Structure 1
């Protein structure tokens, strides 16, 4: 992630990247949010005022 984005912007980016890869398996929004929760828990991302940014580990 090169610049801060909203959750919906990140979701669209992930969907587009996965759409271009024919071998990628489906990813539900629920799993995407769980991944964001994990990244937040380990301080890889920060979430504030609706925006996701790289965290201390990012």
Structure 2
């Protein structure tokens, strides 16, 4: 599931989907904006394997667990968010 397997094609593995999502985060985006940019990017690069919104969210969860993306004030950021400005 995280890496390609017999049942999961390389372009649907969570690491690949996560990398594709991370490439879209050139600026802070809402989850909906990131989903739309991700779908447009996959279509323009001829990735025909379907990726559901649930799979997209699993990839976001994986990226968050790996400390690649952060959600702050309803915006997704790639990289480090200044912890002093975040309310805990």
Query: TM-score, with normalisation over the residues of structure 2?
Result: 0.58
* Residues paired across the two proteins, number: 56
Structure 2 unaligned blocks of 5 or more:
1-24, 81-88
Instruction: Give secondary structure in 2 for the equivalent of 1:46.
Output: strand
Whether 1:26 aligns to 2:50 is yes
Q: Is the radius of gyration larger for structure 1 or structure 2?
A: 2
Q: Which runs of 4+ in 1 moved over 4 A?
A: none
Indicate the residue corresponding to 2:79 in structure 1: 55
Structure 1 unaligned blocks of 5 or more:
none
Query: Deviations 1:5-50 (Å, cap 9, x if unpaired)?
Result: 0000000001101112334311100000000000001100111111
Whether 1:36 aligns to 2:68 is no
- The answer to which structure has the higher strand fraction is 1
Q: Tell me the C-alpha RMSD between the 2 structures.
A: 1.2
Cα pair distance change 1:2/1:22, threshold 3 Å: closer
Query: TM-score, with normalisation over the residues of structure 1?
Result: 0.85
